[in-house]
Amino acid sequence: MTFGDLVSEHRRSRPARVAVVDGDVRLTYVQLDDRVNQLANGLLAAGVAPGDRLAWIGQNSFRLLELLLAGAKIGAIVCPVNWRSSEAELVFILGDLDPAIVVWQEQELGHTALAARGAAAAAGVATRAVWLQHDGDASAGSAEGSYESLVAASSADEPDIEVHGDDPLLAMYTAAFAGTPNAALLSHSALIVQNLVIGRVQDITDETVFLNSGPLFHIATFMSTNATLHHGGTNVFVRRVDPEEMCQVIEAERITHAVIMGPTLGAIIERNASGVHDLTSLWPTGDPNDNRSTIVTPDSAPWRHRPGGYGQTEVIGLATFLALGSASDGKAGRASPAVIVRVLNDDGREVGPGEVGEIVVRGPAVMNGYFGRDELNAERSRGGWHHTNDLGRREADGSLSFIGPRTALIKSAAENIYPAEVEACIASHPAVREVCVIGVPDAKWTQRVKAVIVVRDEMTVTDDELIEHCRARLASYKKPSIIERTTALPRTQVGFIDRQAVDAGFGGGGYPGLLPSY
């Protein structure tokens, strides 16, 4: 069973169900499957072979889902590229993927995409790619080199290509903490299993109408897109986050599910303060304070009372769920039924409850590996476990806590110290509001541990008290020897504490753990 089988099944079992809505476009599963077959046959005619990459440089569109399904039917790999990428980043990705096809978007992105195309050609990379424009004038279907003309010129017969469940289908670039980004390869089988899990967690059925508003180059939205398709629901697309358009579409299409981040949620609630839009299909409780700050829609499904968990793109979004388990001391819940989890020390040995180590994962929802990164893949999958590069801790009740990335590392003599672990300890002190731990250069010890903290209003804590707090809870070499106070820590655009900026601004010496290899 492959991902392409899903739409072949739905055309038979749900022929009249609306599969996708995108502006004026509205396709049933029969129509979608016909177009997917046309696209797949067009791609074959354009020379696409199994294992080839199909890059999408565009915003949200029903055509991205078509591309994914067409790729699935012919054994190709589909990569939704971050459309916010700079020209230089696009050139890197084009060279890295060496795609057979690039589907690109004129609106908003045309200038950068075409500049990247030219720069790639000048650099001699991605030279075999066929570029297909999907929007603008080209969406009429007659333009040369357009997505729609390829679809229009091709047969709707099911292509006869043998595809295996273990073949990679979706390639998603993951955040590069250091060095270059890597594309995680997710197989048909992995996506299918994760669809079952996400379908249950988010209560997705063939009556679901899912709003694709979050960017589809991130797994957070795409995992719900896929689960909605799998269960025979309707995927509704808006090109990008726009609170007013989202209000209109939620009302018009009776949207039931969406992945909406806090700031957008606030903007929607503010814009609709007068109640001009009926958004009750999405938030049936009618209570504006009821869980709306969470990324999934609250409803009566048992796992959704406590949404969230720990995850990463490499495990298709979520590897643990907070709601799993009647009680949970940890902040990340328990393993998804599609994976098992261990916490290992640097020697690969399991650590006991209460001890911090690297979270490793095994199971059908884990990626095949990164595209074209044999050495890194061997490293990350050593011993049969996917090494997440994230630190975690199992609590006494068996639940898990996510501590922080393992890649930020301080070197003190022979010891590796993970700032995230020290930060979690300091943050547990009631007087501390924010904390970031850095390593300041030291002639004798290489680095010394320094904590930059923000103290809560109307509370106090001495340096000695904080150091003693850590000494009681951590191995002694991990405790900070220097503490500096500030009024606010620098943050990244999406709101995380900006570790590099703190390091640069408060006398740090960098993180030797940020290795170029990962």
Q: What residues make contact with a second copy under the rule CB under 8 A?
A: 1, 5-6, 8-9, 12-16, 165, 189, 192-193, 195-197, 199-200, 203, 205-207, 230-232, 300, 302, 324-326, 334-335, 337-342, 362-364, 394, 397-400
Residue 317 or residue 480: which is nearer to a second copy going by CB? 317
Nearest approach, Cβ of residue 2 and a second copy (Å): 9
Q: Reading across the β-sheet that carries 386-394, which strands appear in turn?
A: 340-344, 356-362, 386-394, 400-405
Q: Are 35 and 64 spatial neighbours (Cβ–Cβ below 8 Å)?
A: no
How far the first Cα of the chain sits from its last, in Å, is: 33
Residue 196 or residue 265: which is nearer to a second copy going by CB? 196
Residue 343 or residue 466: which is nearer to a second copy going by CB? 343
Residue 164 or residue 240: which is nearer to a second copy going by CB? 164
Instruction: Give the helix/strand (H/E) hosting 394.
Output: strand 386-394
Residue 112 or residue 208: which is nearer to a second copy going by CB? 208
Torsion (CA) 398, 404, 405, 408 in degrees, nearest 10: -130
Residue 166 or residue 245: which is nearer to a second copy going by CB? 166
Burial label, 200 (beta-carbon count in 10 A; 0-12, 13-18, 19+): middle
Query: Residue 222, Cα to own-chain centre: how many angstroms?
Result: 8
Residue 90 or residue 338: which is nearer to a second copy going by CB? 338
Nearest approach, Cβ of residue 484 and a second copy (Å): 39
Residue 28 or residue 313: which is nearer to a second copy going by CB? 28
CA distance 289 to 462: 38
CA distance 334 to 199: 18
Nearest approach, Cβ of residue 327 and a second copy (Å): 10
- Per-residue CA distances from 246 to 241, 252, 290 (Å): 7, 10, 20
Q: Are 33 and 117 spatial neighbours (Cβ–Cβ below 8 Å)?
A: no
Nearest approach, Cβ of residue 321 and a second copy (Å): 11
Nearest approach, Cβ of residue 195 and a second copy (Å): 7
Return the SS3 of 387.
strand
Residue length, the chain? Answer: 518
Nearest approach, Cβ of residue 398 and a second copy (Å): 4
Nearest approach, Cβ of residue 256 and a second copy (Å): 13
CA distance 25 to 63: 10
Burial label, 254 (beta-carbon count in 10 A; 0-12, 13-18, 19+): middle
The three-state (H, E, C) secondary structure of 211-236, written as one string: EECCCCCCHHHHHHHHHHHHCCCEEE
Nearest approach, Cβ of residue 35 and a second copy (Å): 19
Nearest approach, Cβ of residue 151 and a second copy (Å): 24
Residue 203 or residue 423: which is nearer to a second copy going by CB? 203
- Per-residue CA distances from 470 to 13, 41, 86, 480 (Å): 60, 62, 42, 8
Nearest approach, Cβ of residue 292 and a second copy (Å): 23
For residue 21, the one-letter residue type is V
Residue 70 or residue 81: which is nearer to a second copy going by CB? 70
Among 287, 291, 319, residue whose Cα is nearest residue 304: 291
